Amino acid sequence: MGNEKIDRLDLQFEHFQKALARLKEALAEDESSFVRDSIIKRFEVTFEMAWKTMFRYLIDKGEKIAPKAWDVIPVAFQSLLIADAQLWDQMRTYRNDTSHEYNELRAIELSAYIRSHAVQAFDAFLAEMQKRP
């Protein structure tokens, strides 16, 4: 049963790593409205895979938390999985906003935010997870 938990964490972490790699592929392209939409969608998926990896890791360590990003992020911060809970909460807000409406100016703003803040946060989380047993 213990191996099942580890396997689920490993699988979730692998999904996160793949999503982040795909996000970086989109970010490497010249920006157009099509590429911007790809960046935003890949950000959404990467964010989902990241917080679900945090959840899986924390559950395996004995934390009792609901499987919701707004519950997981503060505990991930307290557990030093992430360095900036406010940044991750902002990412959560952006992720939620993008799934409810489309606004061209907001899409441009979000794409810039992903380039300047989100990818670095994802990379830092990746590095932290790679250090942990």
| Residue 82, CB-side half-sphere exposure with 13 Å CA sphere | 25
CATH superfamily ID and name for 2-131: Nucleotidyltransferases  domain 2 (1.20.120.330)
Residue 100 is predicted with a pLDDT of 66
Task: Judge if pTM exceeds 0.85.
Answer: yes
What is the distance between the alpha carbons of residues 33 and 89, in angstroms, rounded to a whole number? Answer: 26
Mean pLDDT, the chain, integer: 92
3-state secondary structure of 132: coil
Tell me the per-residue pLDDT of 5-59, one tens digit each, with 9 for 90 and over.
558 999 999 999 999 999 999 999 999 999 999 999 999 999 999 999 999 999 9
Residue 103 is predicted with a pLDDT of 82
DSSP per-residue letters across 30-99: PP-HHHHHHHHHHHHHHHHHHHHHHHHHHHHTT----SSHHHHHHHHHHTTS-S-HHHHHHHHHHHHHHT
Contact assessment for residue 88 and residue 64, using Cβ atoms and an 8 Å cutoff: no
Instruction: Name the residue ranges covered by the structural domains of the chain.
Output: 2-131
Residue 82 is predicted with a pLDDT of 97
